[in-house]
């Protein structure tokens, strides 16, 4: 028996990059996956394995079970719909991975536009609040599997949330918000058998970071 046999997971932003890797890893461990994203295939220039396949197709190739749910994570109806899809198709929700995220331009707060700030906060922070809200509501409604917790919420934050990375004011603020929210929810829902945790990746080679990591001058700022 695999570690996650019988469990159901939603991963937002799972078409490419970190989210795709998480979704495939969870599927290999036995979980059924809802792939939440606004696109089905990895964007051009990604580093993803088999970019010709959707994440759900890639999971099917390794013998797993997955479905795609179109999901604009800034919209409450999209995230509540992803949770509903998990319950409708697979019967429950055990793992919620709030992974979707962006950064816009590398610039100081002086140059950064209010529009870029609002977009970054909507995708990186508001989406996590929404994803937690609907996932936790479902987890509180259902009985835990025998001998297991009621559920797990995993928020993908960033090292940027605890250290001041250069030229990323909105991104750093958004990831700091994710960490603060995670700590608060752990206090509220831990007593109910639901774990809420955050992971803080450093620089990862994805389509989102390609332009920064492949420019020598910019990459040097992050060393």
Q: What's the confidence (pLDDT) of residue 4?
A: 95
d(CA 218, CA 159): 17
In a domain, 83, yes or no: yes
Output the pLDDT for position 220: 62
pLDDT of the residue at 131: 99
Does residue 154 belong to any structural domain of this protein? yes
Q: How many domains does the chain have?
A: 1
Q: Check residue 67 and give its pLDDT.
A: 98
Given 68, 90, 103, 171, the catalytic residue: 171
Catalytic residue at 171? yes
CB 165 within 8 A of CB 201: no
DSSP state of 49: S
Tokens of 160: 């940027």
Burial 40-65 (b: 16+ CB within 10 A, else e): ebbeeebebeebebbbbebbeeeebe
Token reading at 112: 């950064």
pLDDT reported for residue 33: 99
In a domain, 156, yes or no: yes
Where do we find the tokens 């890797």?
21
Is residue 3 included in any domain, yes or no?
Answer: no
Residue 62 resides in a domain: yes
User: Which CATH number covers residue 143?
Assistant: 3.40.50.720
Give per-residue burial for 98-114: e unless 16+ CB within 10 Å, then b: bbbbbbbebeeeeebee
Does residue 2 belong to any structural domain of this protein?
Answer: no
For the chain (length 223 residues), average pLDDT per consecutive 10? 94 96 98 98 85 97 98 98 98 98 93 98 99 99 85 97 92 98 99 97 65 60 59
Asked if residue 160 is part of any domain, the answer here is yes
222, 211 Cβ separation under 8 angstroms: no
Structural domain for 162, as ranges: 8-221
Query: Does a structural domain hold residue 1?
Result: no
Residue with tokens 């019967």: 91
């Amino acid at each position: 028996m695999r570690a996650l046999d019988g469990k159901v997971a939603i991963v937002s932003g799972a078409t490419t990059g970190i989210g795709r890797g998480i979704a495939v890893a969870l599927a290999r461990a036995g979980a059924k996956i809802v792939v939440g994203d606004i696109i089905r295939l990895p964007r051009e220039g990604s580093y993803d394995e088999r970019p010709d396949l959707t994440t759900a197709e890639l999971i099917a190739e390794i013998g797993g079970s997955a479905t795609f749910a179109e999901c604009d994570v800034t919209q409450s109806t999209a995230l509540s719909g992803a949770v509903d899809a998990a319950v409708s198709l697979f019967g429950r929700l055990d793992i919620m991975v709030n992974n979707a995220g962006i950064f816009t331009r590398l610039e100081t707060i002086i140059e950064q536009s209010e529009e870029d700030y609002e977009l970054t906060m909507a995708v990186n922070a508001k989406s996590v609040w929404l994803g937690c809200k609907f996932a936790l509501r479902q987890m509180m409604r259902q009985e835990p599997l025998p001998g297991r917790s009621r559920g797990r919420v995993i928020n993908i934050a960033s090292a940027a949330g605890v250290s001041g990375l250069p030229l990323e004011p909105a991104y750093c603020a958004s990831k700091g918000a994710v960490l603060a929210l995670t700590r608060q929810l752990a206090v509220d829902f831990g007593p109910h058998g639901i774990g809420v945790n955050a992971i803080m990746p450093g620089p990862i080679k994805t389509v989102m970071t390609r332009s920064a990591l492949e420019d020598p001058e910019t990459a040097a700022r992050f060393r």
